């Protein structure tokens, strides 16, 4: 599928922001005053900035408020509600930490739980799509959650937690790639199953149309295998390997900052692949499989 910059920014930045908010809500770290202001500013900037970026992926951004109306059936709507609730609750919690040096633990715990639900809802937008076999598996929400937890721990300066969480997220990332590469074939989806003509080899008599259209631009994106392999290596090295190596060295704030920057760059590459390699079944009608 077409890896739009807005959706890559959204899934990367919001995951980091909500991960950091979850750790802050649990009191890790537990600063007050200006230090708390700095941590919460970073968290809200990432989470809020990611959500704003997602609006640019809508055909009509001015109708974004309608996303709140379908919470009974839509994971997108549930994401909107849990994200708004997280920001509201953690905003109150931040006021207590910044201005009153107060740790309202129940409020912080609620905000942390809502942050986890927000990340889960984002993941299920993709994990629930049967039309994209590479996403339609249990590893998709696990991938989003472990990545958010690892990035949140890294931003929160929780070195003891960030190192194993990054290793776990890397293992889940590898599993997602390995399972995803076989997902389309394992789903059994073909032009024959799509048309219901199972009595032999089925192929299109002629292309659906001669020019490009929305489906070809958004749903039938093709990535070269060599290009994908190179990007996977970049994602593993920058997103996981190098940050772990930097965290294992004697702690230094500059090394910590470098670990964060390399992690974010690596996850951008990972997210680009997450969308670019997602084969939508509509590609069958265009001879892509």
Q: What pLDDT digit, counting tens, does each position of 28-73 carry?
A: 887 788 899 999 999 999 998 888 877 776 666 666 677 778 888 8
**Residue bearing the bigger pLDDT, 103 or 91:** 91
Give percent above pLDDT 90 in the chain.
55
Reading the block at residue 163, the tokens are 């190192």
- pLDDT (0 to 100) of residue 57: 65
The alpha carbon torsion through 115, 275, 45, 164 (nearest 10 deg) reads 60
Residue 264 in this model has a pLDDT that exceeds 80: yes
Angle between helices 253-276 and 5-25 (to 10 degrees): 130
- Range of lowest pLDDT (95-99, 190-194, 236-240, 245-249): 190-194
Rounded CA gap, 256 and 78, in Å? 34
pTM: 0.89
Helices (H), the chain: 5-25, 33-55, 75-99, 105-127, 139-155, 159-187, 191-195, 214-219, 225-236, 242-248, 253-276
What the chain holds in terms of domains, given with CATH numbers, is: 5-286 (1.20.1630.10)
Reading the block at residue 127, the tokens are 């994990």
- pLDDT (0 to 100) of residue 188: 77
Per-residue pLDDT tens over the stretch 148-194:
999 999 999 999 999 999 999 999 999 999 999 888 888 777 777 76
pLDDT confidence of 90, banded at 50, 70, 90?
very high
Conformation bin of residue 73: beta by default, left when phi > 0, alpha when psi is -120 to 50: alpha
Residue 83 in this model has a pLDDT that exceeds 80: yes
Rounded CA gap, 111 and 97, in Å? 14
- pLDDT (0 to 100) of residue 3: 77
Rounded CA gap, 220 and 90, in Å? 40
- pLDDT (0 to 100) of residue 289: 58
- pLDDT (0 to 100) of residue 199: 62
Reading the block at residue 57, the tokens are 């992926």
Q: What are phi and psi of 76, to 5 degrees?
A: -65, -40
Residues 72, 32 contacting (CB under 8 angstroms): no
- Range of lowest pLDDT (193-202, 236-245, 271-280): 193-202
Reading the block at residue 122, the tokens are 């984002």
- pLDDT (0 to 100) of residue 59: 64
Reading the block at residue 252, the tokens are 């230094």
Q: What is the mean pLDDT of the chain?
A: 87
Average pLDDT over residues 131-146: 94
pLDDT confidence of 109, banded at 50, 70, 90?
very high
- pLDDT (0 to 100) of residue 280: 80
Residue 123 in this model has a pLDDT that exceeds 90: yes
Q: 271: which residues sit within 8 A by CB, 6+ positions away?
A: 3, 8, 11, 12
């Amino acid at each position: 599928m077409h890896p739009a910059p807005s959706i890559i920014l959204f899934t990367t930045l919001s995951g980091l922001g909500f991960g950091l908010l979850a750790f802050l809500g649990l009191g890790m770290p537990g600063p007050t005053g200006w230090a708390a202001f700095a941590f919460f500013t970073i968290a809200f900037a990432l989470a809020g900035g990611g959500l704003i970026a997602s609006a640019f992926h809508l055909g009509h951004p001015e109708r974004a408020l309608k996303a709140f109306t379908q919470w009974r059936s839509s994971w997108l709507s549930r994401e909107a509600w849990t994200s708004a609730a997280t920001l509201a609750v953690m905003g109150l919690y931040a006021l207590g930490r910044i201005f009153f040096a107060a740790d309202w633990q129940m409020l912080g715990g609620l905000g942390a739980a809502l942050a986890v639900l927000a990340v889960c809802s984002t993941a299920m937008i993709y994990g629930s799509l049967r039309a994209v076999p590479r996403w339609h598996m249990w590893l998709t929400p696990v991938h989003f959650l472990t990545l958010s937890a690892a990035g949140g721990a890294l931003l929160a300066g929780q070195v003891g937690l960030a190192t194993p969480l990054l290793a776990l997220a890397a293992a889940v990332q590898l599993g997602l790639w390995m399972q995803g590469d076989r997902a389309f074939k394992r789903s059994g989806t073909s032009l024959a199953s799509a048309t219901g003509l199972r009595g032999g080899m089925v192929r299109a008599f002629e292309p659906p149309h001669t020019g490009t259209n929305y489906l070809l631009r958004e749903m039938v994106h093709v990535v070269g295998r060599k290009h994908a392999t190179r990007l996977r290596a970049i994602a593993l090295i920058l997103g996981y390997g190098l940050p772990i190596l930097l965290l294992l060295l004697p702690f230094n704030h500059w090394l910590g900052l470098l670990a964060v920057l390399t992690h974010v760059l690596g996850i951008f590459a990972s997210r680009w692949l997450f969308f670019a390699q997602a084969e939508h079944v509509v590609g069958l009608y265009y001879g892509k499989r």
